[in-house]
Structure 1
Amino acid sequence: MKRTGVIGLGDMGSGLAKNLIKNGFETTGLDLSADRMAAFVEMGGKAASSIKEVAQNADAVYVMVMNGDQAKAVILGEDGLAANMPEGGVVILTATIKPSEARDIAEGMAGSGIGLIDSPVSGGFPGAQGGTLTMMAAGTDAQLDDYKGVMEAVSKTIHRVGANAGDGQTVKSCLQSLIGSIFSATFEAAALAAKAGVSGEVLFKVFSTSGAGCGVSNTALENIIDRQFEGTGSHIATMHKDLTICLDMARDLGVPMHTASTAMQIFHAGKTKYPNGDNWVCTRVIEEIIGAELHR
């Protein structure tokens, strides 16, 4: 049984840790938050005091931080994972970062004897906590076969999307352009219904049983009509960052992204007005403009 580690024990990382422990993996973890560390120990994890300590006690380490700079520091730093994990170990990069940053990390790890699986995830807080995430995994067949059990402990579906670092992040960026656009369209439709006097319950029943119904729109609409704009495990800063990555990639490739660009502006407005809110709080910004709210 391989030893595992998790760096970043927030909404997503805590779910990874919980399911690794549930599946019998000895798991060492690290987070800057004392409360998160206490919760991790309570679920059966081994607390580390440094990245180096995680590295020295794990054959596979999940990195679930917020951005590329943090991922580079965790993996490539002097006391980081690449310099301190046992030879033959692997870093599983589940954070969503720029494809170019994932490639930079792989280049920096060259010759370390430590592998890299570039595997951002989808499924959000419920998927992380329930162990049902979708993984977009890029790595060698040998790596993906060897660490299949470690990945299956936290996921329901593992897609092998490429062999090179950055391949996973590229697919995730395309996915987030779609999810962000669906969210934004749902926010606008909810505001339109509110102004027209349609009840939230009616709108949800129709949307969820129509061709437009899907997990993304259904979750968004349920949170809107129940007025749950914080604490749902889908902080607006994450999608705002992901759309930024998507549009940066599109700019570099010369691809027009009209719908995703509009979604970016809606999320930018929501994040500026309600920086502590979750994705659905964007609806409140539109509601304030039109003077109507959608309730169940």
Structure 2
Amino acid sequence: MQKTGVIGLGDMGSGLAKNLIANGFETKGFDLSSDRMNAFAAMGGKAAESAGAVGEGSDAVFVMVMNGDQVKDVVFGEGGLRETMAPGSAIILSATIKPREGREVGALLDGSGIHLIDTPVSGGFPGAQGGTLTMMAAAPDAVLDTFKPVMEAVSANIHRVGTSAGDGQTVKACLQSLIGAQFSATFEAAALAAKGGVPGQVILDVFSTSSAGCGVVNNALQKIIDRQFEGTGSHINTMHKDLTISMNLGEELGVPLHTAAAAMQIFHAGKTKYPNGDNWICTRVIEEIIGAELHREEAKKA
């Protein structure tokens, strides 16, 4: 069985590690947080002393960090994966970064013999922890076939979206432009209901059984009406970053993204006012403007 590794053991990476271990893969991991490292060891993982050490002897290493600079550091920094992984092994780039950064990583790996699978994921904290993520995988078919068992351990849906580095990140940027719009529309609709005196449970019941109901909307509404704005595994920084990537790609390609731009501003307001909050905390910013809050049982004045 292939040996695996995970770099970045936060909300998403810890889920990857959990499911790799549960599926019988020997898994090494690294994170800058000692608490995360301790939790990883407790679940049966082998703690490594550095990112590069994760690559030693590993057939496949997931890189689940926050941005492109961090990806380049763990792969190409001194003692990084480019130096420690063997030819024929694979870096599975599950972090969401700019498409051009994905292409840069692929180009810098050329000639190393190390494969790059560019596969950002969707499904958030529940999907990562439950092993039900959707993967947008870009690599040659032969590479994807070789590492399919590793990817299946953490995912319910593996979509082959291209063969080149950056293809997966491009699909993810398109997806996040849509999800951002769904979020922002949900936040506004929740505030409208609050001001109109409609109980949150009524809104949830109607929305979830209508054509507008979907995982994004339903989950956001659940969190809003139960006033769960922190610690749900969906930190606002991540979505804010992803929308920045979507807007950047739109600028590069000359594509107007009117709705995504509006969503970006709502998330920017939420991140500025509540930097420690989760995605749904953007609703509180709107509620504070209108003087009403949406609760499960009845609308309340703010």
- AA matched with 1:210: S
Code of the residue aligned with 1:293 in structure 2: it is E
Partner of 1:27: 27
User: Which residue pairs with 1:37 in the alignment?
Assistant: 37
TM-score normalised to structure 2 length = 0.97
Q: Does structure 1 conserve the Cα–Cα contact (< 8 Å) formed by 2:3 and 2:27?
A: yes
Matches of 2:52 and 2:247, distance apart in 1: 35
CA contact (8 A) 2:52 2:74 kept: no
Deviations 1:133-184 (A, max 9, x none): 0000000111100000000000000000000000000000000000000000
Residue deviations 1:111-137 (CA, integer Å, cap 9, x gap): 111010000000000000000000000
Structure 2: how far apart are the matches of 1:51 and 1:288? 43
Check conservation: 1:118, 1:169, Cα contact below 8 A.
yes
Task: Report if aligned partners of 2:138, 2:162 keep a CA contact under 8 Å in 1.
Answer: yes
Partner of 2:170: 170
- Contact 1:5/1:57 (CA < 8 Å) preserved in 2? no
Partner of 1:216: 216
1:229 aligns with 2:226: no
Match of 1:283 in 2: 283
Q: Distance in 2 between matches of 1:242 and 1:125?
A: 15
In structure 1, the residue matched to 2:105 is 105
CA distance in structure 2 between the aligned counterparts of 1:42 and 1:185, rounded to whole angstroms? 40
Aligned AA (2:156): K
Partner Cα separation in structure 2 for residue 206 and residue 152 of structure 1: 35
1:51 matched to which residue of 2?
51
Whole-Å Cα distance in 2 between the matches of residues 249 and 180 of structure 1?
15
Counterpart of 1:182 in structure 2 is 182
Say if 1:28 and 1:57, in contact at 8 Å, map to a contact too.
no
CA deviation string 1:22-44 (max 9, x = no partner): 00000000001111000000000
Q: Which residue of 2 aligns with 1:85?
A: 85
Identify the residue that residue 75 of structure 2 maps to in structure 1. 75
Q: Which moved more, 1:207-216 or 1:70-79?
A: 70-79
CA contact (8 A) 2:15 2:128 kept: yes
- For 2:191 and 2:178, the matched residues in 1 are separated by 20
- Mapped contact 1:134–1:158 kept (Cα < 8 A): yes
Q: Within 1, Cα distance between the matches of 2:271 and 2:110?
A: 38
The offset of 1:57, in angstroms, is 2.8
Tell me the CA shift for residue 102 of structure 1. 0.5
Task: Tell me the CA shift for residue 100 of structure 1.
Answer: 0.2
Aligned residue type for 2:16: L
2: distance between equivalents of 1:260 and 1:39?
A: 36
Letter aligned with residue 246 of structure 2: C
Q: Is the 8 A contact 2:29 2:46 kept in 1?
A: yes
Structure 1 unaligned residues grouped into runs of 5+? none
- Counterpart code for 2:255: V
What SS does structure 1 have at the residue aligned with 2:69?
helix
Q: What's the counterpart of residue 16 of structure 2?
A: 16
For residue 12 of structure 1, give the secondary structure of its aligned residue in structure 2: helix
Whole-Å separation in 2 of the counterparts to 1:76 and 1:106: 11
Structure 1 runs (4+) greater than 3 angstroms displaced: none
Q: What is the letter of the counterpart of residue 172 of structure 1?
A: K
Deviations 1:179-235 (A, max 9, x none): 000000000000000000000000000000000000000000000000000000000
How many angstroms does 1:78 deviate by?
A: 2.5
- 1:130 is matched with which residue? 130
Match of 1:248 in 2: 248
**Superposed counterparts of 1:261-280, under 5 Å:** 261-280=261-280
SS in 1 for 2:182: helix
AA in 1 matched with 2:96:
T
Question: Hey, what's the Cα distance between the residues in 2 that align with 1:54 and 1:22?
Answer: 19
- Note the 1:133-172 alignment, pairs <5 A: 133-172=133-172
Letter in 2 for 1:12: M
Give how far 1:87 is off: 1.5
